[in-house]
């Protein structure tokens, strides 16, 4: 236990130092505003998740130097994946990055949630002790990230309001809803990528089957939250929840929706 803790703490320190070096080389301004600090807090959370995976999945105990080398290889690859995926995610939500950095707290909340989701996906796959496992990790993460972006877009097409527009306007309720959905989908996708690699087709087949768990999220939103909690009439699209978030910017309703997504993802994962 103490040995694993030592590996984990060392991995956290090295990854944080590398992340600081990346920010310096990229000439990014210091995290001196609330929006930038929120984004950095999400990166730190992702780094801790990755460090935990490195300490448990890269360490075989046969050779200390070999274990450290594989931790470094997977750790560097994981940080690179975080950097690329974060930039891709902010690009997909056009205007979200600049708004988050200029202290639009709604945009910063949504961007931070997406960073946390990326960290979950990275920590789920970036661990191993061979180049074959590293290749599988990179491919699995690429598929998972593409799936995350696609599913968030599909689910958000079902709301009657424009998430991106509401978030850019500073609607924190919409950001909480969007953020909860993003993290919840990442949890489901991470669960779908678990298990031993048995070949390309079996892996993709099992991945698709596991993703079917996402189908329960929308009905639970429309029935459990809207009817049982908000005591409104059941509707397949729109309804009281959408009005509360888009028209009244009800932060409580946004948090309720976001937490429901997370609860469903954790509930499904616990049953699997």
State the DSSP code for 27. Answer: T
CA Rg, the chain, in Å? 19
pLDDT tens digits for 92-126?
A: 777 787 888 787 899 999 999 999 999 999 998 89
Cα separation, 98 vs 268, whole angstroms: 35
Q: What is the pLDDT of residue 204?
A: 63
In the chain, alpha helices (H) = 2-25, 34-57, 64-92, 96-101, 105-125, 131-156, 163-168, 172-192, 200-211, 217-220, 240-246, 251-271
pLDDT tens digits for 156-175?
A: 777 888 888 899 999 999 99
pLDDT tens digits for 52-89?
A: 999 888 877 677 888 889 988 999 999 999 988 988 88
How far lies 66's CA from each of 58, 98, 165, in Å? 9, 41, 49
Q: What is the pLDDT of residue 272?
A: 62
| Residues 163, 239 contacting (CB under 8 angstroms) | no
Residue 199 has pLDDT above 60, yes or no: no
CA end-to-end distance (rounded Å), the chain: 28
- Domain edges within the chain: 2-271
Q: What is the pTM of this model?
A: 0.87
Cα separation, 227 vs 78, whole angstroms: 42
| Residues 59, 1 contacting (CB under 8 angstroms) | no
The token duo for 231 is 């005591």
- List, as one string, the DSSP characters of 168-235: HTT-HHHHHHHHHHHHHHHHHHHHHT-S----HHHHHHHHHHHHGGGGGHHHHIIIIIIIIIT-----
The conformational region for residue 199 under phi > 0 = left, psi -120 to 50 = alpha, else beta, is left
C-beta atoms surrounding 17 within 10 Å = 10
């Amino acid at each position: 236990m103490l040995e694993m803790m030592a590996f984990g703490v060392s991995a956290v320190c090295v990854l944080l130092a590398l992340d600081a070096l990346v920010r310096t080389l990229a000439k990014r301004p210091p995290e001196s505003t609330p929006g930038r600090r929120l984004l950095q807090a999400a990166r730190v959370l992702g780094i801790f998740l990755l460090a935990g995976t490195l300490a448990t999945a890269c360490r075989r105990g046969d050779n200390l130097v070999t274990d450290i080398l594989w931790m470094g290889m997977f750790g560097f690859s994981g940080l690179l994946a975080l950097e690329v995926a974060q930039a891709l995610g902010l690009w997909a939500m056009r205007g979200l990055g600049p708004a988050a950095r200029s202290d639009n707290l709604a945009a910063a909340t949504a961007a931070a949630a997406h960073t946390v989701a990326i960290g979950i996906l990275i920590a789920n796959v970036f661990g191993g002790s061979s180049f074959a496992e590293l290749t599988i990790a990179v491919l699995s993460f690429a598929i998972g990230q593409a799936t995350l972006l696609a599913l968030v877009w599909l689910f958000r097409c079902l709301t009657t309001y424009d998430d991106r527009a509401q978030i850019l306007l500073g609607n924190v309720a919409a950001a909480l809803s969007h953020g909860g959905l993003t993290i919840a989908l990442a949890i489901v996708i991470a669960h779908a990528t678990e298990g031993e690699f048995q070949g390309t087709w079996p892996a993709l087949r099992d991945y698709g089957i596991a993703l079917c768990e996402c189908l329960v999220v929308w009905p639970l939103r429309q029935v459990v939250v809207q009817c049982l909690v908000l005591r409104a009439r059941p509707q397949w699209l729109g309804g009281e929840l959408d009005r509360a978030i888009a028209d009244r910017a009800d932060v409580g309703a946004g948090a309720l929706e976001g937490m429901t997504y997370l609860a469903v993802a954790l509930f499904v994962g616990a049953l699997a």
